[in-house]
Amino acid sequence: MVVSEWAESHFPLYTADNILSVYSTSNLPLYEINERSTVLIAIASGKGSLQANDDTYELTAGSVILLPAHTEAALIANIQHPPHVYKLAISTREQSSSLPEGTMVRKSEAASNSNIQFFAYEPAITAYVEELYIHRLPESEIRHVQNQIVFHQILLQLLEGQEAKNASSEKPSMERSISYLENHYSDKITREQLAGIAGVSASHYSILFKQHTGFSPNEYLSRLRVHRAKELLLSGSGTLREIALKVGYKDEFYLSRRFKQQTGAAPSAYNRGSFQRVAVLLTPYACHLLLLGLEPAVLISESSEYVNTFGLQPPQTMVFINTTSSAEQVKASLLDNNIELIIAASQHLHHYGLNGEHLRAVAPVVEISWMELGWKEHMRLIAEVIQRSDKAEQWLADFEKEEKAARSKVEQSQAANEVITILVIKPEELLVYGVRNVGCVIYQSLGLQPPARIKREMETRGDQFHSIPIEISELADYAGDRILVIVFPDVKGSTAHSEAIFKSYYWSKLPAVQLNHVHLLDRDEWIPYNPVSIRLQLQRAVTLFTGNQ
């Protein structure tokens, strides 16, 4: 008897049940998913998030997520950058031929996994899915076979990605053990446990740990716990006993002992008003500190160029760390500069590959939400942390007087009766701005009228409404009596891409264009979003609309 060489194992066949193209909009920001088969979600463009099983996955162009069958999920659009998503339903079936005796039937690794598989950036898979969608109705058998090849390329990339993830997660390393410690500092952790994760002996682990971090495992753990305790003290989160239990100590007395060993003072004497060496992530928060009279010791930013110090003492000793630095380089620089406090937004930390758990070994990390709050609340929260609220409130009160005076002047101008549109032209997109950046001064400080669609978004989303992307064909739907235009240059510094807008039929037919009610604004003067820059923008806006210098 001849036995087939294929009889040793048996895998099911993959089939593509259906494929859909989904565009999210401001009117349809939520797309629910609950399929009987495995679903592959590929993000072609835009941004959003997917919620499933009480977890949230942040999605950007190139992200891929594989949902097990019957998973209830919701795709939520980022209104500023609505996502374009492809949804591919994948099923398996057994081969119809009879199986030789002793054949091992094996499950599909791609379509039978009970866990959600998330790949942050897999542009090749996304490109394959897009090709499959474009040719979903093949006009010939050749294209049909090509579709099968593309479909199996998708599966191959998924399986290889899963295998690489599994290999990475199972590979013992010092990095994994340190990361585990940073994320489980409140648990009972032994050196033997960490050494097991690293794949080395307990005695050798301490040596390697010191080489990697500059601290012993116990010192590192103590820093994580004490710095977290400081964060909770700053936020007023509970009694000392409650804080001790939250950070992993058995009682408040043990916390006090460790706290005093590390800081030289008891928790009850922790004085946040004595901060001298504070680090901030990105320039807006640096401007807040400078305005409150505290120069940041370290600024982590893409550039130190836009720290606006008009009317203030320029930074004298501030150290600049570029956001292109690795997480370990940032951490080392912060340690070298004896940082006592780190102020950042979780959104920015995530964007630049940093996280609070990793930086907590350096100093307490106070997260000030970015998009969820306006600049005035940023200022109040930062002032509260460093105990300079009186100074912040005085500045804000003075600014409100300036706002009132500016609004009174602009109310006498023609602009008071006009609809004002703020158009931002970037190399890759066209945006209409809401109440952040230049929109904050135009619509909130001066009370000028936005386009109707922008007004509805402002009423719904408040300070969180940054902007909305539009197509050039939609210009007439958003164009008001007067248009303020800001052009972002490309990576080479060119603004030539804006000519496609200015020379288009859609632009030329706008009434504001025909009446020459268009103002080109300088990006560096009108985009920064911090109190010093906002005050300057208010002054510029009065000049713009009244003509008074």
Contact 443, 481 (CB under 8 A): no
In a domain, 248, yes or no: yes
For residue 97, being part of any structural domain is answered with yes
Residue 436 belongs to domain spanning: 402-546
Beta strands in 407-545 (DSSP E): 420-425, 430-433, 467-470, 482-487, 518-521
Amino acid at 117: Q
> Within a domain: residue 394?
no
For residue 407, being part of any structural domain is answered with yes
Verify that 479 and 423 share a domain, yes or no. yes
Structural domain includes residue 538: yes
**Per-residue model confidence (pLDDT) at position 101:** 45
Helices (H), 171-299: 174-183, 191-198, 202-213, 217-235, 240-247, 252-263, 283-291
Q: Does a structural domain hold residue 393?
A: no
Gap between the Cα atoms of 385 and 279, Å rounded:
13
Strands 73-77 and 47-52: antiparallel
Same domain, 149 and 32: yes
What is the rounded CA–CA span in Å between residue 226 and residue 220? 10
Query: Residue by residue, what is the 3-state secondary structure of 486-506?
Result: EECCCCCCCCHHHHHHHCCHH
Look at residues 224, 247, 270 and tell me which one is the last residue of a structural domain: 270
Domain count along the chain = 4
Together in a domain, 424 and 514: yes
- State whether 499 and 363 are in the same domain: no
135 contact partners, CB below 8 Å, separation of at least 6: 143, 146, 147, 150
**156 and 300: one domain?**
no
Q: Are 286 and 312 in contact (CB under 8 A)?
A: no
Instruction: Tell me the two tokens of residue 278.
Output: 């504070």
Per-residue confidence (pLDDT) for residue 46, from 0 to 100: 87
Per-residue pLDDT, 3: 47
In this prediction, residue 519 carries a pLDDT of: 97
Q: Is 276 helix (H, G, I), strand (E, B) or coil?
A: coil
Q: What are the tokens at 311?
A: 């009317």
Both 200 and 119 in one domain: the answer is no
Angle at the Cα of 8 from the Cα atoms of 7 and 14, rounded to 5 degrees: 75
CB < 8 Å & 24+ apart, contacts of 406-409 = 406/445, 406/446, 406/538, 406/539, 406/541, 406/542, 407/445, 407/446, 407/447, 409/542, 409/546, 409/548
176-209 burial string, b = 16+ CB within 10 Å, else e? bbbebbbebbeeebebeebbebbebeeeebbebb
Residues 279 and 206 in one domain: no
Tell me which residue of 426, 471, 476, 418 sits closest to 446, measured CA to CA: 418
The pLDDT of residue 159 = 85
Helix/strand/coil (H/E/C) assignment for every residue in 348-403:
HHHHCCCCHHHHCCCCCEEECCCCCCCHHHHHHHHHHHCCCHHHHHHHHHHHHHHH
| 512: three-class secondary structure by DSSP | helix
Indicate whether 515 belongs to any domain. Answer: yes
Q: Using CA atoms, how far apart are residues 81 and 430, in angstroms rounded to an integer?
A: 11
Q: Are residues 264 and 378 in the same domain?
A: no
- Alpha-carbon span 85 to 57, nearest angstrom: 14
**Do residues 225 and 182 make contact, with C-beta atoms less than 8 angstroms apart?**
no
Both 20 and 150 in a single domain?
yes
Q: What is the CATH number of the domain that holds 228?
A: 1.10.10.60
Question: Looking at residue 99, which CATH number applies to its domain?
Answer: 2.60.120.280
pLDDT value at residue 104: 41
The full DSSP string for 6-65 is: GGG-B-PEEEEEEEEEEE--SSS-EEEE--SSEEEEEEEESEEEEEETTEEEEEETT-EE
The one-digit pLDDT tens for each residue of the chain (549 residues) are: 454 545 444 567 888 989 999 887 767 788 889 888 899 999 998 888 899 888 888 888 888 999 998 899 999 988 888 889 999 999 887 655 554 444 444 456 666 667 888 888 888 899 999 999 999 999 899 999 999 999 999 999 888 877 766 665 555 689 889 999 999 999 988 888 899 889 888 889 999 999 999 999 999 999 999 999 999 999 888 899 999 999 999 999 999 999 999 988 889 888 666 789 999 999 999 999 999 999 999 999 987 555 666 777 788 899 999 998 989 999 999 999 999 999 999 989 989 989 899 999 999 999 999 998 999 999 999 999 999 999 999 999 999 999 999 999 999 999 999 999 999 999 999 999 999 999 999 999 999 999 999 999 999 998 889 999 999 999 999 999 999 999 999 988 999 999 999 999 999 999 999 999 999 999 999 999 999 999 999 999 999 999 864
Q: Which pLDDT does position 103 carry in this prediction?
A: 41
Q: Which of 254, 270, 286 is the last residue of a domain?
A: 270
CATH number of domain containing 434: 3.40.50.1980
Give the CA count within 13 Å in the CB-facing half-sphere of 216: 7
Which of 270, 292, 321 terminates a domain? The answer is 270
Kindly tell me the burial class for residue 366, based on how many C-beta atoms sit within 10 Å of its own C-beta (0-12, 13-18, 19 or more).
Answer: buried
Tokens of 338: 């004896």
CA distance 286 to 294: 9
Claim to verify: residue 52 and residue 164 sit in the same structural domain = yes
Amino acid at position 368, single letter: I
Whether 32 and 139 map to the same domain: the answer is yes
Q: Are residues 17 and 52 in the same domain?
A: yes
CB-based contacts of 356, cutoff 8 Å, min separation 6? 344, 346, 349, 365, 367
Q: Taking every pair of C-alpha atoms in the chain, what is the biggest distance, in angstroms? A: 100
Backbone angles phi, psi at 354, to 5 degrees: -110, 165
Residues 72, 283: Cα–Cα separation, whole Å: 40
Domain-embedded: residue 396: no
Paired with 321 in beta bridges are 300
